[in-house]
Structure formats: structure tokens, C-alpha cells
Structure 1
């Protein structure tokens, strides 16, 4: 069952790169696109809850938790990530965000008193090494100087990864208390969107929307597939196997995106790229077969 969930997340998030690339071609601020994405995803989840008669009345303490989850997982990490993409090429963005497993392990130990599972730490390092090999050309061609902005982008992406790992650990804690994932995502996405709206209103960004076919279709795809399905299944996986194991998905996801690019954009693989994929798969095996922690 967990392997099936894992594959769904890989396909949902690996294909989301295409949806995001469509949205960047229009005169809509990326932060505004994030708001539309998660507002629509939240609406879809609430409609599902109403249709299935799922409970929507919860104590105010849970709403505080969802506000925090929305801030970390559906707001601040995306703001930092978009700042990072201003300075970095896509390969470096993928590589830095792949450290999510490391952040999840370390933040789980520091802030949530979770034991460090060494096989997962080792597997994550192997996977990051594989991803580094795949994007070695982009890494070597980048201008690593203080004037180039690479350092700024690097720091922004590290912050994005740090905040995302906190959100995933929070979700794991909520599920341990038997808080349902669907309602949790519905409220958290709503609160994260409202925080982003507040941020945009106090910035110099324009809050706009594009009615073109490509923008609307990509928005629906990102809301339904990458957000409702992707985050729903992923956070369920977090509850099942732990945030540290589940976060390895973010190392594997760029490989799925490259495979899709091979089919639709004529991406050509090199021997170094294949070696990188082998390392990622090997790291994935180490992570997934790590012994469960005792509770």
C-alpha cells in the first residue's frame, strides 16, 4: 500500500514541473499563482468533505495547528522557493530542495525529539550525490561568486527546505493524534492562502489572474493533481512511514520530471545522468528498507 502511495506522489509531483512552467509564461506574480492554486485546492477538498459528510467542526486548538501547518507548508516555504528561483537554474533548485530528507531528520531530532535513523541519513546523502551527478553540468556552469546571486538563491532555497520540513513534521504529529488528513489539508491550504494574500497586500506585487486556456488548465492541474492528490497522499505517507522516509520522494521527483521531459521535450540522457539515477534508486532502497522506529 505504501509503495502505491509513493508512486502516486512521484507521478503527481514529478509532472507538476510542467504545470508550473506553463504558469511562468504569464503576467501573474508567482505568489499570486500560489494563492489561486491552494485556494482552488482547498475549495475542492471542502466540496469533497461536504459531499462525503466528513466532519468539519473541530476545536479551536486544531485550527491554530492548521494555521501553523498552512504557514510552513503552503506559504512561507513557497515564498522562499520563488525568491530562490530568481537566482538559480532549475538543476540547483532541485538539488538544494533534495536536502529535505536531511532537514527532516535533523529538525525531527532537534524540535520534535525524534531519533535519528542512520540508514535514512545515509540513503539521503547517496540520493543527493546522485542528483548532483545528474545536474553536474548546471552546477559546474553556475557562477559561484558573491556578486552572481547564487549564494542568495542558495540561502533562500535552504530556508524553503527548512520550513517545508517543519510543516511535514507538524503534519506527522497531527496524524499521530488521529487528525484526518483531508480536513487538515483543506483548512491548512485555506489558511496558507490567506496568509499569502496578506503578504501580497503589503508588498508591491500585483494580485492578478490570467483567463487564458493554458494558465487555467495548468492551475486546475496543479490544484487537483499536485495539491489535492499529491499533498494528500504524501502526508498520508508521512503518517504511515514517518516524515524522514517519506521526504525522500523529493530527491526522486526531479528524475521523474526528467523522464517525462525525455518523452515530451526530447531530453537526452548521458552516462553520468544514468549513474546519478542508479545512485538515487540505491539511496531510495536504503531509505525505504530502514527499520521502523519504535514508538
Structure 2
């Protein structure tokens, strides 16, 4: 059992913060990716680039790519849930909602990850985690309120919310299931490589069915965005994040969503003239306080066998 303060040690904090910083930038990039481009093809192209890179990473780390029948079935599930379902839902949500609101909504992974972790893996939900989550959600509500007032929602709001909620559920299922007994027995990068492979196949099939053959854009910003999303936003972050899920539990790992939102808002302040006010400052402060309380909670026990 880890001590109350063990979760704040560098090997947890550094990947936790790094994934939050990188993912904080990706919400911006996605808005350019769907500008005149079918969302499904944008997702498919992203993972057509990311998947070979993940196999190269596995080979460079000398991780075996033979993961057995159980591993392949797990990779298939993760691929369809995370690298097809989740990303297609997110990209579609941003057609109807501002990226800031979708990012804020995705902090609900805190709740869904903790609930599914308890249900599927037997990870205990502690009192401190509940207290921290309640405080953080109060802060998130303030940030969401300000975003809604600042950026009036366009498109079909109800459809956007539906896509975002489906994306949250798909991501949570993948987050939690990869930490089961089969997943823990496999090298992370090997499991992710095969998961991305199956997800990419599903992405291409979905894109072809819903949007027909691809028409590749000639905008430099699109291809620069693909490189950032595929390499930094996928190859760097997913091994770190999924390892965190295994180490500190799905619920607490999802707290990097708060870091993601705050980083995205800070970047908006620097480059898009975002104006802070008492509501946003209070919301960010409450979110961070809740984050610290939850991370200082005692670690969840090992999953049931």
C-alpha cells in the first residue's frame, strides 16, 4: 500500500503534468483539423501516422509484439473504444460546441473512470477522493459557466453534448479495461501499438462509410497539426497516461484533465486574449485544490483477480 504522500513523487507527478500540458494544446489543434475536413478522415489520418510510430517505439524499446490471443482481443476493444469511438465522438462534438467547453466536459472522466474502476477492477473510492472530486467539480462548474457565457454555443448544442458524453464513456472504458489482469501482463507500448492498429482500421472504415474517399487538404497547418496530434498528442502521452492508470487508479489519473483545461486556458490567455475574472480564477483554484486533495488520498488496492 502506498503512503498518503507517495502519489506526489516525481515519477508520478512528471508524467501526470506532462500529459496535461500536451493534451492542453490538442484541443486547439483539433478545431483546425475539422475545418473543411470530415472529422472521421481527420481522425483516421492522425492514427495512420501515429500507429507506425508506436510500432517503431515498441521495437526501439525492445518490447515483444506477440501479445497472445487475450492481448489481441484486449487491443481490439481498446482500439475501437479509445482510438476510434472516443476520438470520433470528440471531433464531432467540436463541430457543435466550443473546444473549451468540450475540454471542460472531459474532466468528467474523473467520475466515470473512478466509477468504472470500482465496478470493473475493484478499485476503492476513498473519502478524500470524493471530497477532492466534489471541490474540483465545483471549480469545473465555474469554468464551464464562464466558457458558456464568453463563447455562445453554436450548432446543435444537444447533439454536441451527446457526442462529448459518448466520448467520455468510450475513453473511460478503454482507460479502465487496459488496467485489467491481461493488460497489466503486457508491455504498455506493445498493447498500444496493436490497439492503435485496430483503431485505425475502424477509423478508415467509418470514414469511408460516412464521408466517402478522402480528399487530402493542402493546408500546411493541417499537416503540422497531424504531426503534433499523432506524435506528441498520442505517441508520447498515451503510454504515460495508461501507465498512470495502472499506478494510481483510473479516477486519479483522470485528474490530468484538470491540468489540461487550465493549460488550455493559459495558452488561450497568451495567444487568444483570454481575460481572467473572479469566476475563472475561483474555478481554477477550486479545481487545483480538489486535485491535490484527491491525489493525496490513499492508493486504491490492486484489482480483483
User: TM-score surpassing 0.5?
Assistant: yes
Equivalent of residue 79 in structure 1, options 63, 75, 88:
88
Q: Over residues 115-159 of structure 1, what are the superposed CA-to-partner deviations in whole Å (9 max), with x where a residue is unaligned?
A: 323322332232222122123234357889xxx833332222212
SS in 2 for 1:56: coil
State whether structure 2 residue 38 is matched by structure 1 residue 42: no
Gaps of 5+ in 2: 1-10
Q: Distance in 1 between matches of 2:142 and 2:238?
A: 28
1:168 aligned partner: 175
1:136 aligned partner: 145
Q: Distance in 2 between matches of 1:175 and 1:5?
A: 23
Q: Distance in 2 between matches of 1:239 and 1:221?
A: 26
Structure 2 counterparts to residues 12-31 of structure 1, below 5 A:
12-25=22-35, 27-31=36-40
1:198 aligned partner: 205
Residues 79 and 199 in structure 2, CA contact (< 8 A), matched pair in contact too: yes
State whether structure 2 residue 231 is matched by structure 1 residue 224: yes
Please, what TM-score do these two structures have when normalized by structure 1? 0.90
Q: Distance in 1 between matches of 2:111 and 2:52?
A: 33
Q: Over residues 30-66 of structure 1, what are the superposed CA-to-partner deviations in whole Å (9 max), with x where a residue is unaligned?
A: 2111111122111111122333433112212211110
Comparing 102-111 with 167-176, greater Cα deviation is found at 167-176
Count of residue correspondences: 291
State whether structure 2 residue 49 is matched by structure 1 residue 62: no
Q: Distance in 2 between matches of 1:41 and 1:174?
A: 26
Residues 67 and 186 in structure 2, CA contact (< 8 A), matched pair in contact too: no
Q: 1:212 to 1:137 in 2, by over 3 A?
A: same
Please, what TM-score do these two structures have when normalized by structure 2? 0.87
Residues 95 and 128 in structure 1, CA contact (< 8 A), matched pair in contact too: no
Q: Distance in 2 between matches of 1:233 and 1:271?
A: 34
Gaps of 5+ in 1: none
Q: Over residues 39-95 of structure 1, what are the superposed CA-to-partner deviations in whole Å (9 max), with x where a residue is unaligned?
A: 211111112233343311221221111000111111112222233333323343223
Q: Distance in 2 between matches of 1:176 and 1:203?
A: 32
State whether structure 2 residue 293 is matched by structure 1 residue 281: no
Q: Distance in 2 between matches of 1:181 and 1:285?
A: 27
Q: 1:22 to 1:150 in 2, by over 3 A?
A: closer
1:153 aligned partner: 160
Q: Distance in 2 between matches of 1:263 and 1:152?
A: 31
- Return the offset for 1:163: 1.3
Q: Distance in 2 between matches of 1:43 and 1:120?
A: 38
